[in-house]
A and B are shown apart, each in its own frame.
Chain A
Amino acid sequence: MLLTLTLHSDDPETPATELGHLLHKHPDKCQRFDLAFGAVHVFYPETTATRCTAALLLDVDPVGLARSRSGAPENRPLWPYVNDRPYVASSFLSVAISRVLGTALGGRCERRPELAERTLDLEATVAALSAGPAPDWVRGLFEPLGYTVTLTPPVEGVVGLTLRGRVRLSALLAHLYVLVPVVDHEKHYWVDDREVDKLLRHGAGWLATHPERAQIVRRYLKHQRGLCRDALAALDATLVDDTNAPDAPETEPEADDGAASEQRAEAPLRLDDRRRETVLSALRACGARTVVDLGCGEGKLLRALLADAAFTEIVGVDVAPTVLRRASERLKLERMSEERRARLTLLQGSAVYRDDRLRGRDAVVCVEVIEHIDPDRLDAFQDAVLGHLQARTVILTTPNAEYNVLFREAGLRHTDHRFEWTRAEFEAWAAAAARAAGYGVRFEPVGEADPQLGPPTQMAIFTREVAHAP
C-alpha cells in the first residue's frame, strides 16, 4: 500500500523540498523501517522547488500476516491467505504514520519549527482504499475538514483517494491516521480502551465538531458500545460550549449480523419481550410444570422460566454448540444456586430428529424456530416435535408475513428465515399437523395487532387430545 504526500509551493522562501525537513526524511535517500507486519520504505519520486512528493510504501508480508492470524470468517476458509490486506490502506498505515512519521505527526520540526505550525498547500494520495460498493460516502469524512477530495472510479469497491487543501502537515497526518481505518473498517489488532485514548489524541481539535463524528467513532472503535459511549462523552467534554455539540445518537446498533437486523426491524415494538410474555402466560395457563424450550437460543425465555418456581423442570435445547455456550454464560450457569441449577438442563438437540431425552415433559415451546427450517424438512419437524415428544401442550410462534409491510426494511425479517407465513398459511399447516398427531390447535396473536394485517407474530397452541389407549 502506498501513501504519497506532496507539498506544493510557489514561494521561493519555502521551496517544496522543505518537505524533507518537515517529514524528517532526506529527499535523496530511500529509507527502510522494519515493523511487525513488514517493512516501510520512504522515498521521494519527485523533488522540485514547486512540487515535492514523499512516498510511504508499506511492504506487508502476506505469509507472515496469514500466520499471525487465527481463524477465518465463516464460509471463507481461505481468507487468511487470499485477501486485500497487503494491498489496501488500513490500520497498518496508521501504525506506519505514527512509527515512521511520528515527529511530523506530533507537529514538531527541528530545522523549520515555524513551518510545522503553518498551513501549507498539501496533497495526500492513498493508492488503494477498500471503501465498499458506494465509495462516495468517503467524501463526507474529509470534505468537512477543508479538503478537495478526488476519488478514482471504484473497481470492486477499491478506490484511490486524493486530498488537497491548506492544512498543517501534522493535521493532515492525524486526519489520515484516524480516517483511513474508519474507511477500511478492519483493524488488524484488538480494539480496547487504549484505542479511545488514541482516537481522542489524534482527533483533538477536529473530531468533536466533525458532522460525522458518531460514525467515525463507531467505525474506529469497531462498534464496541461501551468504548463508543466513553469516546463521545470525552469529545463532548472538550467542547467549550456544550450547546454546540451535535446530537449523539441514543443507541448504537450492534454488529451487523442477521440477528441485529431482525432486532432492528422489529425494535420499535419490543416484540421480543412481548413474545416471551405471551408464551409464558400461555404456559402458565396450561398448567405446565416441566417445559422443553426447543431452539432456546441464548436463553432469554429460559431465564424467565427459571424466575418462576412453578416451572419445576426446564430443558433448553439448541442445535448450535456455540449458541448453547453463550446461553450458559449469559445465564451464569456456573454461579447459579444449586436449587435453581437443578431445574435447568441445557442440551444440544435438533428439531428435525426424534429425541427421547425430551419426552415426558408437560410442554414443548418452539419460539421463532420453524421459519428457520427448510420447508422440505417440516415433515421431520412435525414428526419429531408433535409426533414423537407427545407433550400435552406444544407452543409454536412464527412471524406473520402479512405484517412485514409495516416494518421499515423490506424482505424477510432475518437472513436465515427460510420462509415467513401469512396467518392463513400458518394456520393451515398447524391444523393439518395437529390432526395428524392427535392434537387440537388454537391460535393467539402476539404483539399489537393491526386490524387488517394481524399481529406481528402468530402463536399456535397445540393441546393433545385424550389418548384413546386405556
Chain B
Amino acid sequence: MRLELPCPSLVLLVGASASGKSTFARRYFAHTEIVSSDACRALVSDDETDQNATVDAFEVLNTIVEKRLQRHLTTVIDATNVQPEARRPLLALARKYHMLPIALVFDLPSAVLDARNVARAEGTGRPPIPSRVVAHQRRDLHRGLKTLRREGFSHVFVFESAEEVGACELVRVPLRPDRRGELGPFDLIGDVHGCFDELHTLLGRLGYAVDRAGAFEWRVTPPPGRRVVFLGDLVDRGPNVVDVLSLAMQMVRDGQALCVPGNHDLKLARKLRGRDVKVAHGLAESLAQLDTTPEAFREDVATFFDEMTAHLVLDEGRLVVAHAGLKRSMHGRASAAVRDFALYGDTTGEIDAFGLPVRLDWAAAYTGRATVVYGHTPVPRAEWVNGTIDLDTGCVFGGALTALRYPERELVSVPAAQVYYTPIRPLAPEAAEVPPVAPAGPPPPDAPGLDLATISGKSHLETRLLGRIRVGEGEAAAALETVSRFSVDPRWLIYVPPTMSPAETSARPNFLEHPDEAFAYYREQGVTEVVCQKKHMGSRAIVVVLRRPEVAITRFGFARAMPGVVYSRTGRPFFNDAALGEGFLDRLRGAVERAGLFDALETDWLCLDAEMLPWSLKARSLIEQQYAPTGAAGLAGLTAAVEALRHAPAAAALLARFEGRLARVRAYDQAWRPYCWPVEGLSDVRCAPFHLLAAEGRTFFDRPHAWHMEQLETLAGGGVGLLEVTPNLTVDLGDAAACAAAVEWWQAHTDAGGEGMVVKPQAFVSNGPRGLLQPAIKVRGREYLRIIYGPEYDAPEHLERLRSRAVKAKRRLAAAEFALGVEALSLFIEHAPLARVHACAFGVLALESEALDPRL
C-alpha cells in the first residue's frame, strides 16, 4: 500500500502500546522528526516508564512540538494518542501554526499486542503491560476512530493488521501550495472580473499572442519561458466571463498559466455545484452569461476552481501569490485559516483603530523576505507596501487591468474601456463577503510600527556583498539608544554611509599619510584605475530630495507630505532648524529640476551622499569648546614661553624647540579656520554631493564613479550658489607619471588648506582576490591632521610614536558597514519590508558604536 504523506505536517501516531508505532516512525522519519512521549519521560525522570513523570514529560513534548511547528518542520508524535484529550493540545498547536494534522492509526488485534508486550517484557525484569490496560487503550481508540476527521485531522490513515503496516510504503509529497520549483519569469495579473477585452489587450502588451481557435478554444503563444499567474476573481460583474474562463482554463491546462482562486470564483463554483448561495455582487452576471454554455463547460469551470489551492509559493520561496494576500506566518502552510486569509484577506484585525483600509493591516506589518502579490481590494494604483503589492486596480469598475512582470517588477496596465459595474462602496472591501470570524489569540499588528525584536540583541544580517554580518548585543544596545532618541524617522533612514579608512601609515619623514599607500593598496588588489576626489571638510550628510512633497506619502509611507530629509552619518536630523532644512531641500529640488535629473532618471526622488559645508554649521560647539580654545591657549602660552626664553641665555638650547612648538601651534590655529564661516542663512550653506546613490527603481552602486561625478556636475549646474562640484582626477595606477601628478595635485590642494583626498576604485563596488575592497580610502593632508592628531603631532619625537595605527580593524569595519548600507538601500529599492531595510541601517549604526581609534 502506497501512503502519500503531505509534508511538512504534524503526524500523530495513534495506537495502543506495542502496536508498532515507534518501529514505524524509525523506518520513515529522521530521529529528530520523532517526538516520543517515552523519550520525554526519560528526559525529565531518567525512566521512560515512570507514569508519575507524564505531566512533566508532556510539557516538554508540547514545547518541542511547538518550536518545530513554528519552523514548519514535519513532526511525528510517538505516543499512544488514543484519547481525544491527548490529541486536543496537539491539534491546537497544528491550528496555531497552520500545519496539516495527520493521524496514522494502528488498530491491531489485541492478541498481537498482548503477545508483543509479553515478548518485550522478557529480560527487562519488569512485568508486561497487562492485557486490561491494552484493552482499555483499544477501547479508547475505537471510540474516537470515527470522529478523527471531525476533531480536525485533515488525513486519517488506518492500519488494521501487522501485515498492512509491513506492506505500507510511505512517500512524502509536498503541500499543494508548494510550487517553489516554478522559477518564472511570470506575468501576474490582477482581478479580471470578466473583462475579456482588457485581458486580451494586456496579454498582447505582455507579448502573448492570443487568437480564437473555436468557441472555447484559443491559440496562445507566450513569450519564451514566461507564464501568466492569475490572481483570482476571473468572474462576476464583467461583460465576458465565458471567454475569460475558457482562456484561463486552457492556459492553465496547457501549462502556460497558474491560477489562484478568488472569493468570487469559489462562490460561482459552489453555485454551479448546486449549493445554496446568495446571488449578489455580480454573480448574476456570471450565471446569465454561463447559462448559454454547454453543461460540460460549466462542469469544467466548477472542477477548475475546486481543484485549486488558495495560495502558491513560487520561485524558491521568493514569490507568494494569493487572491487577498498572505501574511508571512502563513506562507506555504495549510489550514482553514490560511485559506480564508488568502481568499478574504485579514479580517480579524481591529481595522478601525487607525482608520486604514483592510489590506494595510497585514501588509503594513509585513516583514517577510518573499514578495507577496495579490488582488481582491481595488486600489487606485498598484503600489508597493513592504514588499507586497495589490494588483487589483478595479478594471471592472472603470479602473485598469494591471500586470506585474516578475522578476523585473515592471507594472503594465491597460485602462478599462468603460465602467462595467458600479461599486456600492468604491475602493472598499465588501463586508457582506467576509466570512464570520472567530478571533483567537492576540490581535495582529495593524499599523506601521516597527518591532523592537527585528533590531535588538545579537543578530546576523545577510548582505549581498559580504554574506552574513554579525552585530553584537552590546553594539545593538548602544545603537538602540541612538536610534530611539536622536535618529530621523526610520522610514527616512534608507542608507547609512560607512566609515572610511585612511591610507596605511606612510614611512616618509614628516608624513603620516601619503597618496602612495592608497595607490599601492588598490594596485595590489588588481585595480587598474582609481578616481581621486577632493575631500571637502564639512559634515557628512545623506539627502533624500523629493520632486513633490506627496512622494513622502506615496513612496516613503508617511501620513503627511514633506520635501525630503537631510541626516547625518549617525542618522540624526542634519538641521536643528526645521525651516532651514526645508529651505535647503526646496533649493536642492529646484536644482535637480533645472538640471533635468528627475526626468533623465525617471524618478520623483533622489538619494545623495554629500558633504555639507561649512564645517562650523554642525561643529560650532566643538569649535568653541575645543578647537578655538586650544589654539588660543597654545598661542598665548608658547608666545610667552618663547619670549621668556629669548631673554635667558642659559636656556638657549630650549629656545629652538619652543619656537618650533609655537610654529606648529600657529599652523594648527590656521588649519581649521578655512572650514568655518558664519552661517546667517541658507545662502551661506554649501552642499557638495559626491555619490548619486539611488532613484526610484534603482540604486547606482553599479555605475562607475566617473558616472556619478558627471551626473553631479550636471546637478551642480542647476544649483549655482548651493551646490559645489567635487574636483576629481582619474588615475591609471599603471602609469607612474599619472600617479606622481596625482600626488602633486594632493600636495597642492592640502598645502592650500584642503583636508585631503579620497581615493576610490573606478567601480563603485570592487572585489579583489580576497573579496570586497575598501570602497574608498582617505589621504589627509599634513596640516589638516593637526586637528585630528593634535597641533604638534608632526614634531619628529611625536610622529614616530604615532605611526603604529590599527588600520586593519578600521577597514574590516568599513567593509561591513558598506555592505550593510548597500543592502539597506537595495532592499528599499526592491520594496522590501521596512523592518528589513531598518535592520540593515540599524546595523551600520550599531557597528559604529564599536570603540576604534577616532583619529583613523
Contact = CB atoms under 8 A, between A and B. Distances in A.
A2 to B, nearest CB: 5
Contacts of B644: 2, 4, 43, 45, 53, 55, 57
Contact of A387 (B447, B483, B636): B447
Interface stretch (B184-192, B281-289, B787-795): B787-795
A379 B798 CA distance: 53
B427 interface: no
B204 interface: no
A301 to B, nearest CB: 20
A29 B658 CA distance: 18
B488 A63 contact: no
Contact of A2 (B350, B355, B452, B640): B640
Name, among A28, A46, A87, the residue most crowded by chain B CB atoms within 10 Å (CB to CB).
Answer: A87
A355 B646 CA distance: 69
B791 A43 contact: no
B329 to A, nearest CB: 14
A44 B854 contact: no
Query: Chain A contact residues (Cβ within 8 angstroms of B): what range?
Result: 35 or more
B630 interface: yes
A62 B481 contact: no
A46 B645 CA distance: 10
A258 interface: no
A158 B634 CA distance: 10
Nearest to B628: A156
A354 B451 contact: yes
Contact of A354 (B449, B627, B787): B449
A128 B636 contact: yes
Contacts of B636: 87, 127-128, 152, 155, 158, 160
A438 interface: yes
A128 B637 contact: yes
Given A82-B626, A88-B637, A353-B455, A43 B645 contact: yes
B780 to A, nearest CB: 13
A72 B853 CA distance: 11
Interface string A107-128: 0000000000000000001011
Name, among B353, B354, B485, the residue most crowded by chain A CB atoms within 10 Å (CB to CB).
Answer: B485
Contacts of B407: none
Nearest to A27: B650
A46 B637 contact: no
Contacts of A46: 647
B451 A83 contact: no
Interface in B454-468: 455-456
Given A157-B632, A436-B353, A438-B350, A353 B450 contact: yes
Given A84-B630, A87-B633, A158-B636, A45 B481 contact: no
Given A30-B653, A388-B449, A72 B854 contact: yes
Given A156-B632, A319-B481, A82 B627 contact: yes
A30 B654 contact: yes
Given A30-B650, A87-B638, A127-B640, A353 B452 contact: yes
A41 B631 contact: no
Contact of A372 (B442, B485, B624): B485
Interface in A9-32: 28-30
B449 A44 contact: no
B654 A41 contact: yes
Interface in A335-392: 348-357, 359, 372-374, 376-377, 379-380, 383-384, 387-388
B641 A127 contact: yes
B648 A44 contact: yes
B442 A351 contact: no
Nearest to A377: B489
A57 B489 contact: no
B451 A356 contact: yes
Contacts of B2: none
Interface in B569-614: 573
A127 B645 CA distance: 13
B452 A350 contact: yes
A156 B353 contact: no
A463 B362 CA distance: 26
A436 B488 contact: no
B626 A83 contact: yes
Contacts of B445: 354, 388
B5 to A, nearest CB: 35
Contacts of A28: 650
A321 B640 contact: no
B641 A57 contact: yes
Contacts of B628: 156
Contacts of B631: 156
A155 B632 contact: yes
Interface in A233-264: none
A407 interface: no
Contact of A350 (B478, B480, B665, B791): B480
A36 B786 CA distance: 24
A84 B629 CA distance: 7
A333 interface: no
Contact of A44 (B452, B453, B625, B650): B650
A371 to B, nearest CB: 12
A87 B628 CA distance: 13
Contact of A158 (B477, B481, B629): B629
A23 to B, nearest CB: 14
B633 A130 contact: yes
Interface string A60-101: 001100100000100111110111101110000000000000
B683 interface: no
A410 interface: no
Interface string B105-145: 00000000000000000000000000000000000000000
Contacts of B480: 319, 348, 350
B448 interface: yes
B508 interface: no
A1 interface: yes
Interface in B470-503: 474, 477-478, 480-481, 483-485, 488-489
Contacts of A351: 484
A416 B658 CA distance: 44
B855 interface: yes
A460 interface: no
A385 B321 CA distance: 33
B447 A383 contact: yes
Given A45-B647, A81-B855, A436-B354, A353 B633 contact: no
A43 B626 contact: no
Contacts of A355: 451-453
Name, among B455, B485, B648, the residue most crowded by chain A CB atoms within 10 Å (CB to CB).
Answer: B648
B1 interface: no
Contacts of B640: 2, 125, 127-128, 160
Interface in B518-560: 559
Contacts of A350: 452, 480, 483-484
Contacts of B656: none
A304 interface: no
Contacts of B474: 321
Interface string B416-459: 00000000000000000000000100110111111111011000
A357 B451 CA distance: 11
B651 to A, nearest CB: 4
B648 A55 contact: yes
Name, among B449, B474, B628, the residue most crowded by chain A CB atoms within 10 Å (CB to CB).
Answer: B449
A405 interface: no
Nearest to B448: A383
Given A156-B629, A158-B632, A377-B489, 18 more contacts: A2-B641, A43-B645, A43-B650, A43-B651, A57-B641, A62-B791, A87-B636, A130-B633, A155-B632, A158-B636, A320-B481, A321-B481, A350-B452, A351-B484, A353-B484, A355-B453, A356-B452, A438-B350
8 closest cross-chain pairs (CB), A and B: A127-B640, A45-B647, A77-B854, A84-B633, A87-B633, A156-B632, A353-B452, A128-B636
7 contacts: A41-B651, A81-B790, A82-B788, A158-B629, A158-B633, A377-B489, A380-B449
